[in-house]
Structure formats: structure tokens, C-alpha cells
A = this chain, B = another copy of it.
């Protein structure tokens, strides 16, 4: 990992000032605790078994988080694109070794802050604490949605949901990672994708 001074994307600033409601000096104070971390494609931000001490805001690039089953097979849980936060939250917050691998699938540019610094800042900036709670809630809701999706949606419904959320997914993420995320065998996913593209072409 390379560390540089943080150069935030305009979205990072807007998120904290317009959405979270931080004052300019609070934002600048928070920003001073971040640093830029570049993670080349295929390298890891977090590995299962390690303690995750930093959370990373995705300035640019994308990542996948996955677990290994006891046969060593990968299972993709989430993707992280621009404006998402990366990390193994349980490990970050408890200081225990994590269960997830978080790996760059495009060159990543992250704005990182240590869990310790972030916790200290939450004690002194109430707006930040409140927004941390809101962020956790939103992540919790999307986790329930993901569980409902995995358990009860058909393969086509799962694919439709993903494409609605990320229309550019096939241009940025390998077919086998999308297939693992959706729990669809790669050849089936290729066929589904081909049929969708053919249907699109026939209507244009």
C-alpha cells in the first residue's frame, strides 16, 4: 500500500458537508485524518484472519469482498464502487480478526482513516457520530435486502436487481465474480446476458 496526502473526490466533500451536515472546519479536521491509499488491481485491502484497522472510502476503482468455504471456494458477498466504504466492519469495530477478503478488481484509490481516529472524532463531532449510526442502519437494511434476495429471488430477478443498481457491472467486473455474487453458474449467466443483449438489440 502507498500512502499519500488525501485528495478527496468532490463527492466525498458533498457527502460530508451537504448530506451529513458537517461544518467546513469539521470536514477539514476529519479530512486531515484521512490519507490516500492506492491498491493495485488484484491486491488486497483486507484479508480474512487479519484485524482490519482502517476503513476506506472508494475515491476511484472497485473491489469485491468474498469469503472462502472450507473447500477453498470463493463466494462473493459484495462489490464496492466509487462512493462506497470498504472494510470488514465487525473486525474494524471489535478489533477481532475478520472473515472477509476485500480485493481490488480495478486499481483502487481509497481515502482511509483508522478506526481509532474515526472513533475519537465521533466523540468530538456529534454530527459525525449521528451519521455513523445512520450509515450503519442503511448498511443493515441493505444487508437484510441482500439476504432476502439471496433466499427468495429467482436468478433473473437477482440479475435484474444488480443491473438496476449497477448498469455498468459487466464492463467493470469479471463474469465469474458476478456469477458468484448472484449464485448463478457462469455458463448460465453468460446465456442470460446473451439473451438480454439480443432482446435489447431486437427492440432498437
Contacts and interface: CB of A to CB of B under 8 A. Distances in A.
Interface of A: 67-70, 73, 75, 77, 89-90, 93-94, 99, 133, 136-137, 139-141, 143-148, 150-154, 157, 183
B90 A144 contact: yes
A152 B75 contact: yes
Contact of A148 (B77, B137, B148): B77
A108 B183 CA distance: 36
Contacts of A139: 140
B146 A147 contact: yes
Given A67-B148, A151-B150, A152-B69, A141 B75 contact: no
11 contacts: A69-B152, A70-B157, A75-B151, A75-B152, A89-B140, A90-B141, A90-B144, A133-B133, A136-B140, A140-B140, A143-B147
A148 B148 CA distance: 13
SS class, residues of chain A in contact with chain B: helix
Given A136-B140, A143-B144, A151 B183 contact: yes
A73 B157 CA distance: 15
A145 B146 CA distance: 12
Given A67-B151, A75-B148, 6 more contacts: A69-B154, A90-B140, A133-B133, A146-B147, A147-B150, A150-B151
Given A139-B140, A143-B144, A151 B93 contact: no
A119 to B, nearest CB: 12
8 pairs of A and B residues whose beta carbons are closest in the complex: A75-B152, A69-B152, A143-B143, A90-B141, A75-B151, A140-B140, A67-B148, A147-B147
A94 B70 CA distance: 38
A49 B133 CA distance: 25
Nearest to A93: B137
Contacts of A69: 152-154
B150 A150 contact: yes
A148 B69 CA distance: 9
